[in-house]
């Protein structure tokens, strides 16, 4: 059966399935008179490519490209995920995988160890930052893509892999590691004097648990003498909606956190905070920048609208849409934008972003050439549908510089806030010490 006949058969099957719901004309009329013709056009193009293209092309990549083209033309965040991409996405959202526990990059064609993760096979084997991995199970990594090398190092828990390592001027040596469950730590924390500093790098399945553990640890370490918290969401590109809600709920005692609205008004959802503020009402400052997107903006917007926290930094990215992952059995999944989200005051930050209460530029922060200037600069970006609802902070510095974009690799901000090298963190600490940060939730 040709693709054209297959498509027509599928269309006829759809006609039979929906017949009970239609009256008068047929399926084609109900869906638009040109539906058959357009499906026929797609089939003709596919068959001509298969027959006449200068090189033989397999069916699967052609269909995948067509699917991705259809979805990505809708907006920047819809798309088709093949089986491998879908698996990679699940690894990121689960926050754990079978592997060695090393952060790596590529240098001169070799895999370079950036840092071993604590209490993982790599750390226990003594791998060090700067080590160069030249071979994996005897196979040279020269010419291998970083993603392929990472795939080879990951694998089933309990299996072994032999790494050939070059360390400085020392002789090359082999080390055999046994893969184990590696947990991606999305929450890091430390004390900045009497202020609890918490950084969230992404919103995965374990983020809320990590935040709760971090805040409890900070309370213990400070012996109950904390004066406030800094929540660092800079360069956090987002993640799971439910985790963003849980993180905001950690600092809120009541009130709406976020609402999502789909095309059908009946599908509107509202998510409210539960009783209990783990921060015990202490003042909070949230750090954001142009790399703070999606789930980060949900948290920042909720805390700002409830006057629970002051926002410091630069304007956020402006991704105010919700994507649903729909598995396609045997093939992967489609990622489809199904809703917009709105802050408690009813404003959408889509293509606009959230403006901080206190604008602080980070010295030396520059945009790499060709990087997007926020959501609004992306092709096919959705419009903002609440232009009349502007938070007061948006009027503070309307002519401030455009935001920085999200990045795939999330860098740690400079950590030495005590001597002012991190201007945004230092400003947050000054606000908390000066009593200028929000301390309690505003009445609803």
Catalytic annotation, pick one of 232, 305, 357, 422? 305
Q: What is the DSSP code (8-state) at residue 127?
A: -
Catalytic site includes residue 259: no
Catalytic site includes residue 319: yes
Residue positions counted in the chain: 444
Biggest alpha carbon–alpha carbon distance for the chain? 82
Provide CB contacts within 8 A for 341, sequence distance 6+: 241, 258, 259, 260, 261, 298, 320, 321, 322, 348
Residues 17, 26: Cα–Cα separation, whole Å: 12
Residues 438, 444: Cα–Cα separation, whole Å: 16
Catalytic site includes residue 305: yes
Q: Which residues pair with 310 in a beta bridge?
A: 285
Quick count: other Cβ atoms within 10 Å of Cβ 261? 17
Quick count: other Cβ atoms within 10 Å of Cβ 65? 12
Closest CA to 311 of 153, 437, 174: 437
Residue 98 buriedness (CB in 10 A; 0-12 / 13-18 / 19+): middle
Residue 396 backbone phi and psi in degrees, to 5: -70, -50
Q: Are 304 and 393 in contact, with CB atoms under 8 Å apart?
A: yes
Catalytic annotation, pick one of 208, 319, 321, 403? 319
Residues 338, 322: Cα–Cα separation, whole Å: 6
Order of strands across the sheet that contains 284-288: 187-192, 195-200, 228-232, 284-288, 309-313, 358-359
Q: What is the DSSP code (8-state) at residue 177?
A: E
Catalytic annotation, pick one of 294, 321, 348, 403? 294
Q: What is the DSSP code (8-state) at residue 258?
A: E
Quick count: other Cβ atoms within 10 Å of Cβ 161? 18
User: Residues with catalytic annotation?
Assistant: 294, 305, 319
């Amino acid at each position: 059966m040709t693709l054209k006949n297959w498509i027509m058969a599928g269309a006829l099957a759809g006609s039979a399935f929906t017949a009970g719901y239609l009256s008068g004309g047929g399926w084609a009329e109900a869906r638009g008179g040109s539906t058959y013709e357009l499906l026929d056009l797609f089939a003709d193009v596919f068959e001509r490519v298969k027959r006449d293209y200068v090189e033989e092309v397999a069916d699967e990549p052609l269909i995948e490209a067509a699917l991705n083209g259809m979805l990505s033309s809708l907006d920047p965040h819809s798309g088709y995920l093949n089986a491998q991409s879908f698996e990679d996405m699940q690894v990121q959202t689960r926050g754990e995988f079978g592997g060695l526990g090393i952060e790596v990059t590529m240098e001169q064609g070799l895999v370079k160890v950036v840092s071993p993760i604590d209490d993982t096979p790599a750390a226990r084997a003594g791998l060090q930052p700067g080590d160069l991995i030249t071979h994996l199970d005897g196979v040279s990594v020269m010419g291998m893509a970083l993603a392929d090398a990472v795939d080879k190092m990951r694998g089933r828990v309990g299996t072994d892999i032999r790494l050939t390592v070059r360390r400085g001027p020392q002789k090359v040596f082999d080390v055999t590691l046994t893969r184990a469950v590696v947990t991606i730590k999305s929450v890091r924390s430390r004390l900045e004097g009497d202020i609890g500093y918490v950084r969230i790098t992404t919103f995965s399945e374990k983020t809320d648990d990590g935040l709760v553990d971090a805040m409890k640890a900070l309370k213990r370490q400070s012996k109950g003498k904390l004066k406030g918290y800094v929540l660092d969401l800079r360069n956090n590109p987002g993640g799971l909606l439910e985790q963003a809600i849980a993180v905001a709920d950690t600092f809120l005692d009541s009130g709406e956190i976020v609402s999502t609205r789909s095309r059908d008004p009946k599908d509107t959802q509202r998510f409210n905070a539960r009783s209990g503020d783990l921060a015990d009402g202490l003042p909070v400052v949230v750090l954001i920048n142009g790399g703070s997107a999606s789930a980060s903006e949900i948290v920042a917007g909720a805390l700002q609208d409830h006057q629970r926290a002051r926002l410091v930094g630069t304007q956020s990215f402006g991704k105010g849409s919700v994507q649903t992952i729909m598995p396609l059995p045997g093939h992967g999944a489609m990622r489809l934008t199904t809703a917009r989200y709105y802050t408690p005051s009813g404003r959408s930050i889509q293509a606009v972003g959230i403006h901080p209460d206190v604008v602080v530029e980070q010295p030396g922060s520059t945009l790499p050439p060709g990087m997007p200037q926020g959501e609004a600069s992306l092709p096919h970006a959705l419009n903002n549908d609440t232009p009349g609802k502007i938070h007061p902070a948006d009027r503070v510095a309307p002519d401030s510089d455009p935001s920085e974009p999200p990045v795939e690799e999330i860098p740690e901000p400079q950590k030495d806030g005590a001597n002012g090298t991190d201007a945004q963190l230092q400003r947050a600490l000054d606000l908390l010490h000066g009593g200028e940060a929000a301390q309690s939730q505003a009445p609803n």
